[in-house]
Structure 1
Amino acid sequence: MYSILYVDDEPAFLDIAGLYLKRSGDLQVDTSASAKQALKMLHAKKYDAIISDYQMPVMNGIDLLKRLRESGDSIPFIIFTGRSREEIVIQALNEGADFYLQKGADAKPQFVELEHKVKQAIERRRTEKALRESEIRFRELARLLPQIVFECDVDLNLTFVNEPAFRLMGYTPADLYSGINVLDAIDPSQHHRLKENMYRLVRGEPVTHQEYTMVRRDGSTFPSLMYASPIFKENRNVGFRGVVVDIGPTRQKDDYRKILVQLLDNAPEAISVHDFDGNFLYVNQKAIDIHGYSRGEYLSLNLHSLDAPGTREKIAERMRILEEKGETSFEVEHIRKDGSVVPLLVKAKYADWGGKKVILSIATDMSDRKGTEVRNREAETRATIDSFPIPSFVIDNDHRIIIWNRALAELSGIPADAVIGTRQHWRAFYRTERDCLADLLADNRIGDIEELYSGKWAPSKLIPDAYEVTDFFPYIGENGRWLYFTAAIIRGSDGQSIGVAETLEDITERIAAEEALSQTNKKLNLLSNITRHDILNQITVLMGAAALLREEALSSRDRMEFLDKIDTSTSIIRRHIEFTREYQDIGIDSPTWQALDRIIARTLDQFDLSHIDLDLDLPGVEIYADPLLEKVFYNLIHNSLVHGQNVTRISIQADENPYGLAVRVSDNGSGIAHEKKEEIFKRGFGKNTGFGLFLAREILDITGIGIREIGIEGEGACFELSVPRAGFRRCNGNDVS
């Protein structure tokens, strides 16, 4: 959690800002009403960042920033103010502000952006500090090494060398200050190769140590090995650092070793030498051929990175036996460069490598024997799962698909031969690559399930290592599918994971039935409320008025007043009964795809619009909605004509946006007052039945379509329907989204 000091002379703004910034749980916020008070708080407590207003009495935000920077305090500082003059922005940034944000009317997005900028400034400052500390540690270590250690810029101009570099090359610190290029110390015939290798490093290509002829200041030379790597700052290459090793004394030993290497490279078995941490010192050609890497790539790997996931847990046991007996043999599976798995029978023993104790391994490829066993076992498993009526797939621990049954091929439209052996199981469910539930189990990332399927998952109640999820997939089928899917780890006879199986069940109809039931219950509750509460209230009025009419002492005026009350209550009861008759039809029939232009045409045909200027701009789309959709548009047009006050123009337009389809019905009438824009959708609002717009919202809500009024009072009403992307399509039947 980050500790933040927020400075602003507006107490109310401090309170609301503190509440917003604390909501994520990542920020702990202290507040100060003045810059002077903030300085005292900074002496008493350490903060990770400061947020400050600009315009404050006595000392403004930029003066506070200058005070801190003059004292050497580099704490992240964000100016957050309503002032937006360019000279203030420039001054704030010049004085060392990390960010400058302007206050706006919309609170939520501006505080989300403010929190993002605060975190970004803190992390950037911490990264800069870590880089500085890393640079210091590197140079301290370099001074202790006997080899040449150097740093240079992107043009190969040296910016740092350690003491052995001066001693071995004959240069002085004064020479370095005057300027030395790396190329000055390399044989000219090797300059092109050096530059090319540096460019390859920047491109991320593997470059092992390279042999160069070093040229001393006096012109003498010696053979060397150079190890180099690029220096990146903020994702930008700013130079290189490296180590140069004098290999002259070892050249004779290397000649003898080359003869030995030639003999070993012709051996029929895979031979390798590695240290106790798994770093390769030598591999022969057979080992390279088996694994599919180049020699340089192989030597840059670690032995343990080649082990298949199911065999890595046995490393400690192998080392224990090797330590006890001096040699051991075992079966292991290695991962080739292309991702395939090769079974090996390995014999390992201790050996001496130039006075260093190492491990010599001789491995035999067991693919032929193991391949037959695996193929038979997989064929039986595949045939069994392929016959399942439930869509299913299986991946290995490397996330490669090994089974894709016919039911899943039918559901996804992806044949098995298009995905077997790939890591593309995500294609059945998503438009872009992302983890599936099976991937999380294969990597044992159980904690990430909540992040991807928040509130939608649960552990299996039947078996361990299994989990179940219910989620909606908008890109399966024409209108999306609700799926209930489970994933479980598959374990071998030794109890180790060998893959993950995932099964899927289409529960779209069940979810739709549950939603329909929910809508029905909602309508029944509303109807019950109307009949039990509203109508009973009016009956009470009728009975009271009738009782008073029976009194003989009433005047004619009083009798007429009570008769008026009876008429009013009777009208109200009639309107409620008419509403229940209309409301009970909502949701009775299933939603359907309806052509927008045809719905509008049928609606307009029901009115006399000879005095109205119509403006229609409708794309050829269909909307997925309740069959009563036409009633919604009828009600909107009727309201314009009856309540719009001298409406002469009605516009109906529709266009796509990133969230779906927006359909707007507007007029040039009197418009809706701001305080009534939401009230008009409440049951009972209005001069007539008061149910028109209420019913419209209920009809649209069945398929997730929203409606709101966005017009300007005095310029006309404008009702906007927001159709989700899955809720509309082009008239040829293809999903627009």
Structure 2
Amino acid sequence: MSYSLLFVDDDKEICTIAKSFLEKTDSFKVATADSVKESFHLLKKNHYDAIISDFNMPEEDGISFLREVRSEGNKIPFVILTGMGKEEVIINALNSGADLYFVKDESPKELFGLLSEKLLQVIKSKQAEIVFHEIFNQSPIAILLYNSEGKLVQANPACMKMFNVSDKSEIDLFGNSTDQTIPMDMLTELKTGEQIDYTIPITINRRDIKNDSEKYTLEKRFINILITPISLSYPDITGEFLIQLQDLTEQKLSEFTLKTSEERYRSFFVNSHSIMLIIHPESGKIMDANAAACSYYGYTHDELLNMNFSVLHTHEMDEFNHNMQQAIQKEKSIFYLEHRLSSGEIRDVEIHSGFITIENQKVLYVIIHDITEKKRSEEALIIANKKLNMLSSITRHDILNVLTALIGYLEFAGTETSIEETRGFILKAQMASRSIRHHIEFTRDYQDLGTKEPVWHDIRAILKSSANLVNAKHVNILFDDSTHLVVLADPLLLKVIYNLLENAVRHGKKVTKITSSWHKGEDGTLKWIIEDDGIGIPHSQKTRIFAREVGSNTGLGLFLAREILAITGIAIEENGDEEKGARFTMTIPDGKYRIE
């Protein structure tokens, strides 16, 4: 880096020699002037890093030139060149603000070589001083300078504003007040020349500027103090202390507010009986879970924190990602979904989502309500209405029709004279009476349908129990005794299985065995199959057998079986091969079965 110099001497040959020697060092670029007047003309147009001026010039000497430069507030490094025997000139030059002086008793090479060396140091020092001065005055950080005896030397405008004073002598930062002193452990470090950094509360007298009054109020502020010892001579001797102050009051208040808010959140989150999770909005990772969530899902806290929120959902990833985006973009805050517990059970949930900030991070919180029972109640209401309509139809239509026939048969029997004909009408009347009883028994069973909560059934136990009830002396009922399938269904599931087994024995004619088996489908459902080796069901009857009063002595059994299974979403169909046996397949939804 080269510095720009202005060399002033009325002798142009000296100017040429000085320019040549000084520029050879590659540290300077030199402009010359042969008078003070020309020098001021150049100073107004160009920037220079230093001025070198001869003392003895005809129109105006170098001392006058120096004083004029300093009177304008210009702190540019200034070098005076004097002749021999001019000690009074040297003293006058230093008193007038000269930075260096040189006597012209050396050879040009030695003179300008020494001048270059010294001038470089002065320029760098002066520039550092100017930079510090500007930083000191313009900095928004309050800065103070104390001498080695602890006396305040300087305070910048930001510091004056912080303490609300117009004179630095009014600043009493390190007074006798115990709450404004340096901590004892740090005072020892400071005395050994180490920098210290700490924060303390201080009280400031602040005038009521808003109402333009002389009233002062005591204001408590939190100030961060950084004290740096400065060595001016030997490294281990402190000459001054540079002190920087920052008002951290707002930060402290924000930290306190945030801490209080987070403590309240933590207390509410941890102790709440509601199921709560904290989710990373981008990755979907579970960041926190309260005790209620751990208990509900059946996972430990650590297990949940190692999981993604999507693992709990039964829906496809595309649908999950769509829901997450809706929550993030605040398009939707309430979701109705299905969640899978650690046991494999699927529950209906209502999710409320929103954003909170924890430790400066924006996260998604979710509150989860189990609405399985509510949804079942709604479904039960639908079933109840359906049952009422069905019972009304049976009572009003079916029973009344049979009752009409019964009355007719009895009237015929009362008017006939032939004993044989009378006996025939009485037999028909008896059959009609049995039909009415059958319908009434169905209404009793149908009335019980859905009145109790679905329960988990051990299929092995149900098959064993039903097999003991069915009169099947010559029929083997086979099932895999090594597997443990558990199904969620209405308590009347036992009646369904009994009905399927009893129908197989009664109508299969040549049945020798009834088999129960199951397998999982690719969609997560489970196919539970009960089949026999009897005569099978004609293709034309496969769908009609589930209607009321269809087939040979089927009554309402299969219709009722379908209704019972439908309560927990289980579908039933007959898909056996005619002449090879009947096969009833029950499709059980994911979450409504367990394999233990």
TM-score, normalised relative to structure 1: 0.40
Higher Cα Rg, which structure: 2
TM-score, normalised relative to structure 2: 0.49
